[in-house]
Every structure is written in C-alpha cells, then in structure tokens.
Amino acid sequence: MSAPSQSRTLWAALAGIPLLFVAVAALQAKIDAGTAAYTRDNEDVLLRSPSVVKNLSLGYDSLLADIYWTRAVQYYGARAGVNGSKFDMLWPLLDIATTLDPKLVIAYRFGAIFLSEPTPAGAGRPDLAIELVKRGIAQNPDNWYMSGDLGFLYYWWLKDYSAASAAYLEGSKIPNAPSWLKMMAGRIAEKGGSLETSRMIWSEIYDTTKDENVRKRAMENLRGLRAREDELVIDQLAQEFNRRYGHFPASITEMKSAGLLRGIPADPAGYPYLLGPDGKSSLDPNSSVKIPPDPVSPPRESK
C-alpha cells in the first residue's frame, strides 16, 4: 500500500473514533434524561443498531460492550421499582452489548432478569429475556448456567413446562453440569408446575447464585410458596370442618378447638393466617409475604 493510501486509511480510522464516542455520549445523555421520547429518527437508529456501533468500534468491541452493559445496569437501576417506569431502551442496550461481546455472560444472565421481571421491578418481557438467553447459549454452548436460566424462564414466566423440561435436559448434557438439571427436567415433565417443583427450582437458585439481589428474590418466593402450601392445608381442614358441622368455621381458632389444628399457624413473617366466611384462608394485610401466582397445568397437546 502506498504512503498516501496508508495515510488516508489512518485518517479514516481516526475520524471514526469521535463518532463512536459521540454516540456513547449521546446514549448517556438519553439515559440521564429519563423517559423522554426519541425525537430524531437517525439518532434512534444509530443508538439502537448493533451493527452500526460495531462498525464504529474500530476493534474496541469488548471495551465498548462493557460500557453498554454498564449503561444497561444504570438504566435499569434508575427505574426498577418506580411505578410508571418504562424500560424502552433496556433491550437495545443489551442487544448492543451482547452483539459487541458475545461472550459477555453476565449481560445475558442478569439482562434476562431485568427483562423478565414484571413492572415496575423490570420490563415485563420474558419473551425478550428468552431471546437474549438463547443467543447467549448459542454463543457460549459450554455454559450450563444459561440453560438453567432458559428452563426457569419457560417454567416461571411462560408456564411452558414442555419447553422448560427440554431446556433443563439440554443443559444437563453439557460437561460438568450438575445432576439437578436432569432431575429438574424429569420432574417438570412429570408434574408440570407443582408447588413442590417451584420450591425446588427456587431453592437451587438460592443455593447456587452469588448475587445478593437474586438470593433475596429467591427467598421471597420460597417464603411465598411455603405460605401457599400452608393455605392449601388450612383450606382442606376448613372443608373437613364443614363436612362435620355443616358450616365453615368462623375462625382458625375454632378449627383448633375442634381438634383439626394443634396451634394457630403463622406465615413466614410471623402473622397468623386469616379465614374468610367461605372457608378460604389468606395472609394478614400487614404481612410482608407475597404469594406467587398459582401454577397452571401444562396444556394438553392436540392429537
């Protein structure tokens, strides 16, 4: 290559660097501006297009991926838990970060949490979370953690037990994968969304994750699942009381007096359960326990 050609190539590369950082600066300005709507179509395309950003990265893909991942964390953290928050830029940020660095496992795993959690805790988009994790599995086929993440997303958010079982099973085939993945695949295939299965999944998440926020979320769900199991037992005993005496008990204390309970059961937060006139138990309004939605039966395949 001639000296003039080399010079032109060098100057073209140097000219691209300011454009790259202008794009990043513009992105940060948008994040700091909150939920303001995009007003310029060209800028919107520039910031949202992984291919454009990758072309501007000039070989600094991993560095820029870290920047975009950091922006995604900042963006999510500023909105999570705030009523009325919108997460319109969350997917574009994660899309760009993982396109720039397909090996950025943390962005796939925690990005999926950000996307799947219902509003206002997250974007309420488990479909995008699944797309993100599938991309991560394709780029990191030896990472069994993400297969477990995929199985969880199908199980907990979409109630697609067939897909969840298949994801856990595929993960169990990866070298050094733990045995519980295969066990979970079989249990989900057999029992679908049982409370026992849900408790096992959240217990594994609690025991294996190192992130304190995820552990807190897992513990919250374990407490809620235990309360749901308690309620089912109380409801069954209230039905037994009705069969014996021809009416539902006026309180749980009356059930204890009838010998159906040894004591007054309390939820994991220490509040006694309440009993309605229809014999259905419930949590005390002051309790911090939140019961997850009831599992649903797997849809039957048409023949």
> What is the distance between the terminal CA atoms of the chain, rounded to a whole angstrom?
67
Q: Exposed, middle or buried, 164 (CB in 10 Å: 0-12/13-18/19+)?
A: buried
Ramachandran category for residue 81: left, alpha or beta (phi over 0 → left; psi -120 to 50 → alpha): left
**Helix axis angle, 161-172 relative to 179-191, nearest 10°?**
160
Contact indicator for 238, 279 with CB cutoff of 8 Å:
yes
Give the list of residues 6+ apart from residue 293 with CB closer than 8 angstroms, or none: none
Please tell me the predicted confidence (pLDDT) of residue 46.
43
Which pLDDT value is given to residue 223?
A: 96
Q: Read off the DSSP letter of residue 279.
A: S
Count CA atoms within 13 Å of residue 155 on its CB side: 27
Residues in the chain: 303
Q: Could you give the 3-state DSSP secondary structure of residue 274? A: strand
pLDDT number for residue 41: 35
Amino acid 20: pLDDT: 52
Q: Which residue has the tokens 């520039």?
A: 46
Q: Which two tokens stand for residue 223?
A: 């407490």
Which among 88, 10, 22, 89 has a CA at the least distance from the CA of 52?
A: 22
φ/ψ of 275, rounded to 5, equals: -135, 125
Can you give the pLDDT of all 303 residues of the chain as single tens digits? 554 544 444 334 334 444 454 555 555 555 455 434 433 333 343 456 676 676 666 678 888 899 999 999 999 999 999 999 999 999 999 999 999 999 999 999 999 999 999 999 999 999 999 999 999 999 999 999 999 999 999 999 999 999 999 999 999 999 999 999 999 999 999 988 888 899 999 999 999 888 898 999 999 999 999 999 999 999 999 999 999 999 999 999 999 999 999 999 999 999 999 999 999 999 999 999 998 865 444 433 333
